[in-house]
Amino acid sequence: MEWQNELTRLLKISYPIVQAPMLGVTTPAMVAAISNAGGLGSLPVGGLSPDQTISLIRQTKSLTSKPFAVNLFANQIPPVNPAQMEPMSHFLEKFCAKYHIEYTQPNLDSITLYSYQEQIAILLEEKIPVVSFTFGILTDDIIQELKEKETVLIGTATSLPEATLLEQKGINIIAAQGMEAGGHRGTFLDNSPLPLIGSFSLTPLLAENCKNPILAAGGIYDGKTIKAAFTLGAQGVQIGSAFIASNESAATTSYKQAIQNASVTDSVLTKTFSGRWARGIRNTFITEVENSNLPVPDYPWQITLTSAIRAFAQKQDNKEFNALWAGQSASKAQSKPAGEIFTHLIKEMEALP
The contacts of residue 256 (CB under 8 Å, 6+ apart) are 244, 245, 249, 333, 335
Binding mask 158-177 for its own copies (x = CB under 8 A): -xxx----------------
Nearer to its own copies, 44 or 280 (CB): 280
Instruction: Give Cα 119 to chain centroid, integer Å.
Output: 17
Interacting positions 220-249 with its own copies (CB under 8 A): 220, 222, 224-225, 227-229, 231-233
Nearer to its own copies, 156 or 225 (CB): 225
Nearer to its own copies, 85 or 232 (CB): 232
Residues in the chain: 353
Beta bridge partners of 270: 278
Nearer to its own copies, 110 or 263 (CB): 263
Nearer to its own copies, 65 or 265 (CB): 265
The stretch near its own copies (CB under 8 A) out of 55-63, 197-205, 302-310, 336-344 is 197-205
The stretch near its own copies (CB under 8 A) out of 8-16, 139-147, 167-175, 195-203 is 195-203
Of 193, 211, 291, 351, the residue at the interface with its own copies (CB under 8 A) is 193
281 binds its own copies (CB under 8 A): no
- Per the CB < 8 A criterion, the answer to whether 292 and 304 are in contact is no
**Alpha-carbon distance 327 to 82, whole Å?**
33
80 binds its own copies (CB under 8 A): no
Q: Residue 215 Cβ, how far from its own copies at the closest point, in Å? A: 14
Helices 338-351 and 223-231: crossing angle, nearest 10°?
60
Of 201, 253, 347, 350, the residue at the interface with its own copies (CB under 8 A) is 201
Helical ranges in 149-265 per DSSP H: 160-168, 199-209, 223-231, 253-261
Q: What angle do CA 47, 111, 292 make, to 5 degrees?
A: 85
Tell me the one-letter amino acid at 32: A
219 binds its own copies (CB under 8 A): yes
Tell me the one-letter amino acid at 243: F
Tell me the one-letter amino acid at 155: G
Nearer to its own copies, 114 or 273 (CB): 273
| Of 40, 31, 30, 42, nearest in space to 10 by CA | 40
Count of residues in contact with its own copies, rule CB under 8 A: 38
- Phi, psi values for residue 193, rounded to 5°: -80, 160
Of 151, 252, 270, 329, the residue at the interface with its own copies (CB under 8 A) is 329
The contacts of residue 246 (CB under 8 Å, 6+ apart) are 30, 33, 333, 334, 335, 336, 337, 338, 341
Please give the residue ranges that form the binding site for its own copies (CB under 8 A): 159-161, 178-180, 190, 193, 195-202, 204-205, 218-220, 222, 224-225, 227-229, 231-233, 263-265, 268, 327-329, 352
